Amino acid sequence: MANEHKIKGIAFDLQFTLVCLENFSLGRWFELFDAGFENVIAYLNQLGVSFDLKRLKMMLHRVRNKYFALIITTDQQYFTEEILRDTFSKCDITLKTEQFQDCCKLYHSIEIPAWKPFPKVLETLEQLSTDYRLTLITNASDFITQEILRLQNMQPFFHLVLTNARKPRPYSFHQFREAMQAEFNELVMVGDDVTTDIEPAISLGMKTIHAYRGYEYLMHHAEMEITPDKVISKFEDLIQAIEELESFEIS
């Protein structure tokens, strides 16, 4: 990284910032999970686990809806491990640790290949990575993240990958700062979610770029009074946004 840059590192969210699902809707996303859950069911049968199929599917939908309702009302993030653990517990299914981990991977087995880079993401990341150290900060699991990066040939662009970040909790942002050996006001966060990406970065003093996709993931986010330094709707506009942030005085 060239010494003359005021910006010492750029962090990115992954899903809905760098990669997207074609024709996204929550219904389509859940369909991908349900397709993956069919692979979970086949695996449970292979293990010889006894369960009521109708009850298991019903319980998955009920538990998943419960956690999604909590996400909407509390802005807390919940993860596959919590959803499947709760579902299996209610269906009296007990698995060894490695078997449960296999189920979590299978649950995402159809979803993972469906994530594709937004237009111009690969070209833009390649250009930025020649001048800046790039970091990925994502709430996704390490397995999901590494598989998406591998399938989409994005691994070479990142100096650091932080998974299971539990944003908006600040720990991963502190890890980013320490790895870059910089002050927060010398760092940039790029993300689509105002509450998990932009708001915590602003509170720490980072520069922020909101990747606005024409909608907010949760409706009440659109009403929040959060002002990022820059807003982009096309990823290729990121280069100019970074150049404009470089022209700002670090304060």
My answer on whether 94 and 215 are in the same domain is: no
My answer on whether 79 and 199 are in the same domain is: no
**Is residue 178 a part of any domain in this protein?**
yes
Chain mean position to CA 188: 17
pTM of the model: 0.90
CATH of residue 193's domain is 3.40.50.1000
Of 112, 143, 158, which residue constitutes the final position of a domain?
112
| Spatial distance between the Cα atoms of 196 and 107, rounded to a whole number of angstroms | 24
Residue 205 is predicted with a pLDDT of 97
Cis omega (within 30 of 0) for bond into 113 = no
My answer on whether 73 and 127 are in the same domain is: no
Per-residue pLDDT of the chain (251 residues; tens, 9 = 90+): 344 789 999 999 999 999 999 988 889 999 999 999 999 999 999 999 999 999 999 999 999 999 888 776 665 666 899 999 999 999 999 999 999 999 999 999 999 999 999 999 999 999 999 999 999 999 999 999 999 999 999 999 999 999 999 999 999 999 999 999 999 999 999 999 998 999 999 999 999 999 998 755 554 444 556 899 999 999 999 999 999 999 876 55
My answer on whether 51 and 108 are in the same domain is: yes
Q: Cβ of 87: how many Cβ atoms within 10 Å?
A: 22
Of 81, 112, 143, which residue constitutes the final position of a domain?
112
My answer on whether 73 and 179 are in the same domain is: no
| Burial zone of 148 (CB within 10 Å; 0-12 exposed, 13-18 middle, 19+ buried) | buried
My answer on whether 59 and 78 are in the same domain is: yes
The two tokens of residue 99 are 């078997």
My answer on whether 14 and 137 are in the same domain is: yes
My answer on whether 88 and 130 are in the same domain is: no
Residues 6 or more apart whose CB falls under 8 angstroms from that of 123 comprise 236
My answer on whether 57 and 81 are in the same domain is: yes
Structural domain span for residue 197: 9-18+118-247
**What is the full DSSP assignment across 53-75?**
HHHHHHHHHHHHHHHHHHHHHH-
> Total structural domains in the chain?
2
My answer on whether 79 and 196 are in the same domain is: no
My answer on whether 235 and 123 are in the same domain is: yes
C-alpha distance across the termini of the chain, in Å: 21
